[in-house]
Amino acid sequence: MAPLPKYPEDTKAVVLLDDETVTVESDGDVVIHKRIAYKILRSDGRDRGTLELEEDKEAKVVSFKGWGIPATGQDMAVTEKDAVERSKYDNESYSDIRQDFLAAPAPDPGNVVGFEYEIHWRPDLLQVTWSFQHQDPVREARFTLQTPPGWEYNVHWLNHVEIPAQQDAPNQSHFAVQDVPGVDIEDDAPPEEALEAHAILNFAPTDPALRQKTLDSWNEFGLWDNRLTAGRRDDSPEIEAKVKELTASATTPVDKMRAITLWVQKQIRYYAVEIGVGGYQPHPASEVFAHGFGDCKDKATLLSSMLKDAGIDSYYVLIQHERGMLGPDDPPWNQFDHVILAIQLPAGTPNSGLYATYQHPTLGTLLFFDPTDDLDPLGYLPYYLQANYGLLVTDQGGELVELPLLAPPTNRMFRQEQYSLYPTGELDGAVTEIRWGQPAAESREQIREAVAQDSRADVLESYLAKFIPGADLTDARADNLDNLNDHLVLNFQFFARNYAQTSGDLLLVRPRVMGEWDSTILEDASKPRQYPVDLGVAYLWSDVVEIALPPGYEVADLPEPVKADYPFASYTSKVECDGKVLHYTRTLQVKSVIVPVDQLPDLKKFYEEVGQDENASAVLKRTAAN
């Protein structure tokens, strides 16, 4: 074996060979044969010694085996009889997908492990993806394609220059790459799959019946989805009656939408039953309504049917739940894992409180809504779906559209704090937090899980302990916890020992008591950052703090005001004293969620400016009379 190149010290393993052969048969079935071999370099690369395969009735694993080649000793092999099989999903879903796990012998540093398997697949769409870049560097990757006579195909390359095909025989060609670097996993970066190099192959068969499985464009993708969902949104007498009941007192289209969407969010339990094409095709709305459960596409289907009964049109939107997986210039490829709705607002509908909107050139104002998410009310959208691309599906086909990034004030947290400081450094106080949008949704989810475990106090105490370790929570209350259409209010009362530090006649107190936005994400100087930083959500965060000075003390020094303004975020703070009370105010606004690599030095500087302010102290001095 030729010596390996020098890799970074933290490289866990290297792919020596990734050899994949795809044979497309005349009926559209696909046979995938793959061989892959790793050399384990570090102990934390041992998991490369486990093969994980999925199969269902449309994709059958025909054979698989593995082997281990120790640096010293005799080669060892395992076969499918040594594998472990289990269902893919937990009790929240039922599916015919099974997982096979096969462990190769001796996956230890210095050893080589490998696997070989064959899968017979009947795809819903005539598309194959060749992924030849992962976390591990790759010495050699090869992809061989065999197609039926007369079939054509096109190739789209993502995150890689075009590789010319090498013709091996009639209807057979291959692509090959060498020394592909590994993808460095960075915190708060786009998802790994979005950074890896791919080749997407779409096939054009000679059989007209199979052409319906071809993806020539995003429009074709939408037409394919339309065929799957045809008739699924038809209502029933029971659905019609429920809509009349829910909207009996509604006086406007928005009132009707709020009543219907909230009912679907709360009353239709998420439970997926996906067998075969059921991974893509929703159950009929009447079945979802009767059973009271469904997955994302089922809930979207029922909601669309109910809105139609109320005179409101809506459209499916296929989307990927991870921002960054799809881009505006990507070719049509099946990367969607979630379904939401675009609700067509009737002309003249006031858009007050309806933030997640999109102006379509022919459909007018569309309001995006995720009925699977039961934490965000109508008008909002989960943060990970914002600034993301989805496929809007209408009767005319599909259209890739960018979902909006909600303005910072829609995701707001306002914190008002009042404290009394004692000469011995104790701090006694009360805090009120008012939360809208994503901050409210996040807290509702945490508290809801805690209530289910009968540990709400633990959640609130843990939240407080992040900022003031050792503080005693004396009282806590959450208002509007279940009312999604109103802001969430959290109230805390606590007592903290040794909050301020004493030094002779001086008392050092940090005006910023709660809340931290400083980050160490960019402090690794061992290697430069390669990928953008995803800040998650645009939001507005404000603190108003009052700290009553202890008797016998006066201000000796105050932190300087801070003002930092960058394209992605801004921050201001100020500390004042009226003789008896310290007044500290600050405002943070995140304006965009993706910070490109060329702006990362500014982001690091921004974090440093915020961190310095968050840790700055006011100096109090004992007066002469004391």
Question: pLDDT tens, 3-51?
Answer: 788 888 889 999 999 999 999 999 999 999 999 999 999 999 999 999 9
Tens of pLDDT, residues 301-315: 999 999 999 999 999
Are the CB atoms for 512 and 543 separated by under 8 Å? yes
Show the DSSP H helices in 349-489 as ranges: 437-452, 456-465
- Residues 523, 303: Cα–Cα separation, whole Å: 46
Nearest to 306 by CA among 361, 258, 353, 271: 258
3-state SS class at 158: strand
Task: Report the candidate in 121, 176, 178 with the shortest Cα–Cα distance to residue 144.
Answer: 176
Residues linked to residue 543 through DSSP beta bridges, in sequence order: 415, 586
Match 């969430």 to its residue by tokens.
488
Of 557, 561, 558, 543, nearest to 609 by C-alpha is: 561
User: Looking at this protein, which amino acid is placed at residue 4?
Assistant: L
- Can you tell me the mean pLDDT for 483-510? 92
pLDDT at 221 (0 to 100): 94
**Dihedral pair phi/psi, residue 611, rounded to 5°:** -60, -40
Strands 84-87 and 98-103: antiparallel
> Which residues make Cβ contacts (< 8 Å) with residue 373, sequence separation at least 6?
265, 382, 441
Looking at domain 13-215, its CATH class is mainly beta
pLDDT tens column, 390-429: 999 999 999 999 999 999 999 999 999 999 999 999 999 9
Question: What pLDDT sits at residue 1?
Answer: 59
196: phi > 0 → left, psi -120 to 50 → alpha, else beta; which?
beta
Q: Scanning the structure block, which residue is given the tokens 């934390």?
A: 44
CATH architecture of residue range(s) 409-622: Sandwich (2.60)
Provide the 10 A C-beta neighbour count for residue 209. 9
Q: What is the mean pLDDT of residues 370-396?
A: 95
pLDDT at 455: 61
CATH topology identical between 222-406 and 409-622: no
- DSSP-derived 3-state class of residue 369: strand
Predicted confidence at residue 278, as pLDDT, reads: 57
**Diameter of the chain measured on Cα atoms:** 100
Topology of domain 222-406, per CATH? C8orf32 fold (3.10.620)
Mean pLDDT within 73-81 = 87
For the question of whether the overall pTM of this predicted structure is more than 0.85, the answer is yes
Q: Which residues pair with 366 in a beta bridge?
A: 344, 358
Amino acid at 163: I
pLDDT, tens only, 294-303: 999 999 999 9
Closest to 506 measured CA to CA, from 423, 582, 433, 566? 423
CA 101 – CA 107 distance, rounded (Å) = 15
Per-residue pLDDT at 93: 58
Confidence of residue 97 (pLDDT cuts 50, 70, 90): confident
Nearest alpha carbon to residue 58 among 277, 229, 207: 277
Question: In this predicted model, what pLDDT tens digit does every residue of 334-355 receive, in sequence order?
Answer: 889 999 999 999 988 887 899 9
Q: According to the model, what pLDDT value does residue 477 have?
A: 85
Output 103 or 275, whichever has higher pLDDT. 103
pLDDT above 60 for 372: yes
pLDDT tens figures, 571-623: 999 999 998 999 999 999 999 999 999 999 999 999 999 999 999 999 999 98
Cα–Cα dist 120/118, whole Å: 7
The amino acid present at 86, given as its one-letter code, is R
Give how far Cα 362 sits from Cα of 344, 366, 394, Å.
11, 10, 11
pLDDT at 497 over 70: yes
How far apart (Å, rounded) are the C-alpha atoms in residues 431 and 489? 10
The tokens of 336 are what?
């969607």
pLDDT > 70 in the chain, percent: 95
Q: What secondary structure does DSSP assign to 408-420, as a single string?
A: GGGSEEEEEEEEE
Sorted by where each begins, the domain ranges of the chain are 13-215, 222-406, 409-622
Q: Rounded to an integer, what is the distance from CA 201 to the centroid of its chain?
A: 26
Lowest average pLDDT, out of 69-73, 129-133, 591-595, goes to 69-73
219: left (phi over 0), alpha (psi -120 to 50) or beta: alpha
Q: Residue 537's closest CA among 376, 429, 315?
A: 376
Q: Locate 196 and state its tokens.
A: 């890896």
Please tell me the predicted confidence (pLDDT) of residue 517. 87
Structure tokens at 622: 């004992």
